[in-house]
Amino acid sequence: MTTWHYQMTITPNSDHIGQSIKAVLIHWLIPQRIRGALRLKQHVRINGLYRPTNYQLQANDQLSLVFDQADFRTGESQYPANNSHALDIIFENDDLVVVNKPAGMKMHPHSPSETDTLLNFLAANFSKRHLYSAGAIAKPYMVHRIDRETSGAVIVAKNPVVVPILNRMLKEKVIQRTYLAWVQGILLKNSGTIDLPIGRDISKPFQRQVNGIQAQHAKTHWFKIHTVFQNTLLRLQLDTGRMHQIRVHLASINHPIVGDSLYGQRLNQQRMMLHAMSLTLPLPFDGPKRIITTPLPSDFPKQLHV
């Protein structure tokens, strides 16, 4: 069984001095179920010795955590490696990578025979570089998705330990995502917010719609950058992460994304004009906050003439 090991030193100026191990694990957004497994298996150690989670941390303590595969609900990453595509990794540490995904690339396979996805390419990349994460062989674990037709920044974990932590950060909007989109038409205001629930489209199972089946709260903020002819470039920020949220919201105000084949019109564009421009990402386990920005791809014009 694969195990993942973390060891942290409580430095003399740490905010965690005097806090219990339990409080620190909660602060790190480790789920209750996994905290319980650490306690029951005695996988929490201070200076090499097991300590109960009410132990109060002291300066220079060495805190060690051990996680094993049974602690996690999802299975171990088993994506077949495909080395046919080089990836643009724009940020990397021991726990995760941020990849600048090109438009047209799928995030993950839907069947065992499908191997031309971002996670397959990352499996090959990690293997070729002989990467390790938390003491085990690094493998790609999906944290969040961006659509196949969307380009830009996407987070992929190297181990399952940080997946629920990053998911919680996304849910609580600790991770902030910013997009650029060319939309059809001219927006008269400089900014606005679309606060409309999104659910399934009963007539089109692969699409979503405002006030659809089992609709969930969704909020998108937009800011106008400039207008060229009959198209407007927007900067967008998400408060929620519903499937096709930006696409559905913009179509609902009659400004669909240029080149959107599902919610707008595919004209002479080779791709949908939506790009995940940047992430504000606090790294797990008290890591620094990083602002990670992707360059505009060559097929996403600064001036759009349609």
Q: Biggest alpha carbon distance in the chain? A: 68
- Cα-based angle 202, 206, 210 (whole degrees, multiple of 5): 55
What is the DSSP secondary structure assignment for residue 130, as one 8-state letter? T
Is 147 annotated as catalytic? yes
Helical (H) or strand (E) element with 154: strand 151-157
Helical (H) or strand (E) element with 221: strand 219-228
Classified as helix, coil or strand, 27 is helix
d(CA 279, CA 154): 8
What is the token pair recorded at 200? 């399934």
Say which of 147, 195, 260, 299 is annotated catalytic: 147
What is the token pair recorded at 270? 């080779």
What is the token pair recorded at 288? 């620094």
Which residue matches tokens 């969040």? 144
Helical (H) or strand (E) element with 250: helix 245-252
d(CA 169, CA 252): 28
Bridge-based pairing of strands 151-157 and 176-184 is unpaired
Catalytic residue IDs: 147
